Structure formats: structure tokens, C-alpha cells
Amino acid sequence: MNKLTLIEGRAFIDGASPIDGRVLAKVAECGEADVNAAVAAARRAFDAGVWAVLLRWAALMHEHLDELSLLETLDAGKPIGDTTTVGGEVAPADHHLVGLVTREPVGVVAAVVPWNFPILMAAWKFGPALAAGNSVVLKPSEKSPLTAIRVAQLAYEAGIPAGVFNVVPGAGEPGKLLALHRDVDCIAFTGSTAVGKLIMQYAAQSNLKRAWLELGGKSPNIVLPDCPDLDRAAQAAAGAIFYNMGEMCTAGSRLLVHRDIKDVFIETLVAAARAYVPGNPLDPAVSMGAIVDGIQLERVLGYIEAGRSEGRLVTGGARVKEETGGFYVEPTVFEVKPDARIAREEIFGPVLSVIVFDDVDEAVRIANDTEYGLAAAVWTSNLTTAHDVSRRLRAGTVWVNCYDEGGDMNFPFGGYKQSGNGRDKSLHALEKYTELKSTLIRLR
């Protein structure tokens, strides 16, 4: 857990590693003066029209991949092995007019990112924001700020002009200050739905800045009786919840299995779960690392206790005591009813709810019966069924006969309902960080 200390009147957070609980580094806790200074620098850089040296920066980040991977593992407990121009258009108009539709940068963009994929979530936001010509203020999570700070150093080395890319570490306050700041034109946030609602409130209370939100999920993974490969589906279902210790907004935390194949599928799933043995994430052979901190560990264990009273514990359910200390939990599977608390609330840990259904319509109804809509999957041999079910699922991403694949930058990513708005990745991400302008020119 992170502790706040004062050094010469300045607040610092003691960043503890989830691997063994030891302090990694002291990171400044930014306050209002720091946020104001970062936003002012970003505004000056944007108004001055300086352009980021993006290619040199990208090359430096690539050069330091090993270092960034190590920082990510030490900071967040992730297994070490895991770790354009904007065009316009000419619109048809009255023959006396020429109509131009152009995109322009929005201005100062604040990006507030979570601790589970620290540098990935940051890059999804600052990449298109900078490419569109904006300046950026990045606020990383206080639980995993080290890669953001290092990337800022690399930006400086690459020659990114002062004020174009700024980092303000700290707990929740800098994020709130950025959302309330009247000189921030846009805020992009990835995190919980509860905090996302606050971000929208703050944006409305200040200058009505646009707020783009990628929020929580309780993603359904539906296995129909004509699943083409039960072994592969079970392996994918295990990976969908136990990869990255279940600390993923797209985690397949609800596994919907047809009654006819339930017993054999659960047996195969439990065998697949045994491959995810929690251990020191610095070991290249380890596939499941540490829960990010003690607070999250207690949250996960609390949900496991709730699950014991709500359904049948199939496997797991215990904290793993590592010789090094740290925060580790066994892969855990429950069989529960659709209305169980652990089947409805986002846990952000390696806890899977298995729910039995009897027909396709019931599966779709259960899958959509959630406030979230980030991702979903369906396993079937029937192409018509695959197409029909994927259209009926209210989710931003649907996988068919796979889970969490096709993660390259060509596919937009985001959610329906309370999983947020807007899209990261792909050319659609540029739309979030630009203003659309129509220019009409009357001809003689």
C-alpha cells in the first residue's frame, strides 16, 4: 500500500511493489499548483504551435523497451513475459459555394489512466492526442506511475518541445483538478464507472469540456453446445479471467455455459486454471503475477467470501503466501446464479462466475442484463448463430470462437452503456481529440 510522506514540506508517495511490498521509489504527490503549472505549460505549447518530435520519441521508447517492461512489472505486478495526419473533405454544396470540412486540434488534452495497463492505456490516449496536434497533461495512477515518468524523460530526450507532454503523478486529486480545470479542453479517462461519473460531473461544472470515458466491465463469455472446440474454449475462458490477475476491464468474468456441456466444460476449465500459478512476476516462467496492492487484495478476498455464500466454489479461493511477501490470490471459480453479487459487480481480480443457461435467448438475456457493455464473446460452430448473437450482444467488442484477440491498433475499442463512450485505438480515436469545422466560401 502507498504511504504519504513529507520531505522539506513536499508531499511524496512511497510506491510499494506488489511483488514483495518493498518501497520502489518516492514519487511526488502533485497538488493544485503543480496541475496549474502543467496545464499552463500545455496551453503555451499549444498556442505557440510547436510540433512534437513523435518519431524520435517512439524510437527512444522502443530502445528502452526492456527498461519500461521491468518498471511495469515492478510497479504493477504484471508478469514480465506479458509485459497520421488527420484528413479533411470537400463537401458537396450549392454551385455558388465551396464547402470544406476540416479537423483541428481541440487544444489541451488531459489523460487520466489506470494502474492495470499503465503505459498501454497512456499511449492509447497521448498517441492520437499528440498526433492530432494537441498538447497533453498525463495523470498516471499513484499505484503505477513509474513508466509514465520515464516516458516523459524520453520525450524530453527526443526533443519534444517544453509543455507539449506533461506528467502530474499523485493520488486522486490531480485527476479531479484536471477535470475541473477551465483551461483543459478535453479529458480522456480510463478507470472505474464510479470515478468516470465524477469526471463527467467535474467537466460539466467547469467549462463543459468533452469527457471521453473507458470504464468498467462484467463481460460475458458464452459457450453454446455446438462449440467447435471445448478444449480451446476452456483455455481461452481461463485466460480471459486469469491473465493479468483478472485486473482487466475486458476480463471475461462471467462464463455462460449451456447445461448440456456444463459438467465436462467445468472439468476442462479447472484443468486449464491450474496453469495459472501465482508467483513472482519477475520470473519469466510465471503466468500469473501479484495483485497490485493490499487494498485491491482485500477487495478481491472480500468478493471471494461473498461468493462462498452465493454459490458453489469450484476451485481456488485462497490467498497464496509467497516467500517474498506480496499480494497473490489463487485462480478462483464459482458456479452461481445470474443475480449473485460476484456475477454482477466488477471485481478486478482472478474470480470467475460460471452461469448455466438452457437456450440461446436466455444466454443473450443474461449477457445483456448488466450495467456494463465493454466486451463479450460467443463460441459456436454455426455462422448464422455467431452473426445473430454478436449483433444482439450490447457490447463494444464481440469475439467469436476466441477471446481478447485482434488487439492491434486497427480496431476501435470502447463500450456501450456504463462502460463509457468514445473509442480508443484506430483512426476513430483521432476524432476525440479534434474539432470538426465547416468552412463555406462563396464564389463570384
Q: Long-range contact list for 402-405, CB < 8 A, 24+ apart?
A: 402/236, 402/377, 403/221, 403/236, 403/237, 403/239, 403/240, 403/252, 403/377, 404/239, 404/240, 404/243, 404/250, 404/252, 404/375
Question: Given 214, 247, 330, 346, which residue is catalytic?
Answer: 214
Instruction: Name which of 193, 237, 275 is nearest 355 in CA terms.
Output: 237
Strand boundaries in 321-425, DSSP class E: 328-329, 332-335, 351-357, 375-379, 397-400
Run of H or E residues at 111: strand 108-112
- Using only C-alpha atoms, the chain has a radius of gyration, in whole angstroms, of 23
Active site residue 214: yes
Overall residue count recorded for the chain in this entry = 444
- Distance CA(234)–CA(249), nearest Å, equals 20
- Distance CA(242)–CA(98), nearest Å, equals 56
212, β-bridge pairs: 188
Quick check: helix, strand or coil at residue 7?
Answer: strand
User: Could you give the residue numbers annotated as active site?
Assistant: 214
